[in-house]
Amino acid sequence: MMPPEHLLVPAVARAGTILRECALQADETPELSTLADALRTAAARLAEPMRLAVAGQIKRGKSTLVNALLGEQVAVTGREELTFNVNELVHAASPTLTVHFRDGPARQVAPSMFARWTVRDEAHLADLVRVRKVEYGLPNPFLNDFHLVDTPGLGSVYGRDSANTLATMGVQDPGVLELLGRDPQTLHQESVDELDRADAVLYLFSRDVSNQDVAAVSAFLGDRAGMLTPFKAFGVLSRCDQSWPPVFGDPLAFHPLRDGASQVIDVYRGATDLSRLFYLVVPVAAKVAAGAQAMGEHHLGWLRELAAVPAAELAGELGDLREFQDAAGPLRPAYRKELVELLGAWGVHLACGALRDGLDPGDLAGHLVEESGVGGLRRLIGGHFGNRAGLIKLDQAMISVRAALASCREGLPPGSAAKTAADEVAKRIERFQRSEHGFAELTALAAHYQGATSLRPAEAEQLLQVTGEKGTSCAARLGFEDDEPVSRMMRRAKERAHQWNTRMNDPLTGRVDKQTAHTMVRSYERIMDRLQVAQRLLDPETC
């Protein structure tokens, strides 16, 4: 007997086949050419890495975070507001740069001109306002799994920059429209197009709660961002290192990510209903991580010299950067200044402390990346988003297809051949969604993240596990290491299916919890299907 289809063909592959077949079906009716294009685009996107957008108010450190995640200095950073256009960073065997214009075809330019097409420069403003997006290809490992989208920032004092990000995030602003001389319908369509291409979002907050941040989050929580759920969005509390040294307390004991960040996050939660949008809010010090990964041997030598200064004395000097730069002792003022510009005051303090405690200088960059929170953020992105990349992209593809179908069917006369053909495509898409268990898992996750369930901690952990938070193998979905015997995995899958079946049939279980329990039973049954196939393959008598 052949195993079920879901054991042989992954959902993304099945979806790609269905979407391409539906596109061919739509091609047979001239009125459905736009729908056919949308179906083919959705199918093609399933084969691409996830699109992870970095968004937020201006000067929240978005470009610095991009550099920290990539582990190299790619996006331009500085004291003034710099990023002008949406920049999409993608994987390529060698550096490439493509400029996509609003009013003409895309153009390949030299990669060395990246800053020329992305950084605010009044001398080139006429060219910059023509740019819709800049695509930069790099041989970077992070980009194997994610297309990283660096946005200019909401609420830019320059206006035009805000419009680029507003278009990316699906938020409209009539004042910006006036500056650009474009009508709301055009910007709305650009917003839909760009937002549809973003599979997941990292939204940066300031460590200092501002009215602008609260207003921007509220706009995010509005109906224009309804497709962004906690499943697809992280909040990032940026620049946490700037709270060091503390106004009160011991600078040697104060860790800005652990001490103080939680209070700021709680203030945001009190001002806005963050749980409606964000899976969680993670504190980071991206400057420390970006600088650590850009350090050269000469920087390590300077830090070793500084580590000879007593910890309390160095921390006192770092509390006033002018005093630190001009302080007597090891290291020239210019070198001290360069170190602070690279790592920030807390980063220098942290690095010297680690070297003072005997850390191998070769391990310093990795240590700083971890202490900065960026290492943990990478793992969260990989686990929460990366392990479920196929399902998230599949959900995004279905959202875009449903929108295209709604737009297409609206203008078709009842009973026409085109209407009949569009209805057939819609039925096939709907059948696929009903048959694909992953969509039920997405619904259960969304209910959990939004606080609609009353799961106990162990049950919530099982929900995250079985849906791929810790890995996509059967072992990881069951909470085991990958070398666990199949027999033990089968036993646990049966026990948990029974446990959730009992929960589902309990008359005291609420409607949402009952639906979640039903989904969990089905998830464990699917794992058992796979394990049965594995057992047959491992049984020598079946060879």
Determine the pLDDT at residue 222.
52
Residue 492 CA, distance from chain mean position: 32
Looking at this protein, which amino acid is placed at residue 354? A
Question: Could you tell me if residue 380 is inside a domain?
Answer: no
Burial code of 346-373, b = ≥16 C-beta within 10 A, e = fewer? Answer: bbbbbbbbbbbeeeebeebbebbbebbb
Residues 341 and 466 in one domain: no
Residues 70 and 22 in one domain: no
Place of tokens 């990000």: 165
Residues 405 and 320 in one domain: no
**pTM given for the model:** 0.80
In the three-class reduction of DSSP (H, G, I as helix; E, B as strand; rest coil), residue 375 is classed as helix
Question: Could you tell me if residue 385 is inside a domain?
Answer: no
The encoded tokens of residue 244 equal: 């060091």
Question: Could you tell me if residue 270 is inside a domain?
Answer: yes
Determine the pLDDT at residue 272.
61
φ and ψ of 180, to 5 deg: -85, -15
What stretches of 358-485 show up as alpha helix (H) in DSSP?
Answer: 364-371, 374-380, 389-410, 417-435, 437-449, 457-466, 474-477
Residues 472 and 485 in one domain: yes
Non-local CB neighbours of 322 within 8 Å, separated by 6+ positions: none
Residue ending a domain, choose from 235, 268, 288:
288
Number of domains present in the structure of the chain: 4
Place of tokens 């256009």: 85
**Strands 200-205 vs 233-237: parallel, antiparallel or unpaired:** parallel
> CB of 42 within 8 A of CB of 469?
no
C-alpha R_g of the chain: 26
pLDDT in tens, 188-212: 344 334 555 678 888 887 766 555 5
pLDDT at 293 over 80: yes
Residues 356 and 216 in one domain: no
Domain residues for the domain of 349 are: 294-372
> CB of 151 within 8 A of CB of 55?
yes
Residues 103 and 172 in one domain: yes
Question: Could you tell me if residue 155 is inside a domain?
Answer: yes
Determine the pLDDT at residue 37.
95
Question: Could you tell me if residue 309 is inside a domain?
Answer: yes
Determine the pLDDT at residue 321.
87
Q: How confident is the model at residue 498 (pLDDT cuts 50, 70, 90)?
A: very high
Residues 351 and 252 in one domain: no
Residues 515 and 425 in one domain: no
pLDDT in tens, 85-104: 778 899 999 999 999 988 88
Determine the pLDDT at residue 103.
83
Question: Could you tell me if residue 483 is inside a domain?
Answer: yes
Residues 301 and 280 in one domain: no
**Strands 87-91 vs 146-150: parallel, antiparallel or unpaired:** antiparallel
Residues 308 and 269 in one domain: no
Helices 160-169 and 184-196 pack at an angle, to 10 degrees, of 60
Residue ending a domain, choose from 254, 288, 322:
288
Helices 333-356 and 286-294 pack at an angle, to 10 degrees, of 100
pLDDT at 488 over 70: yes
Question: Could you tell me if residue 412 is inside a domain?
Answer: yes
Residues 21 and 162 in one domain: no
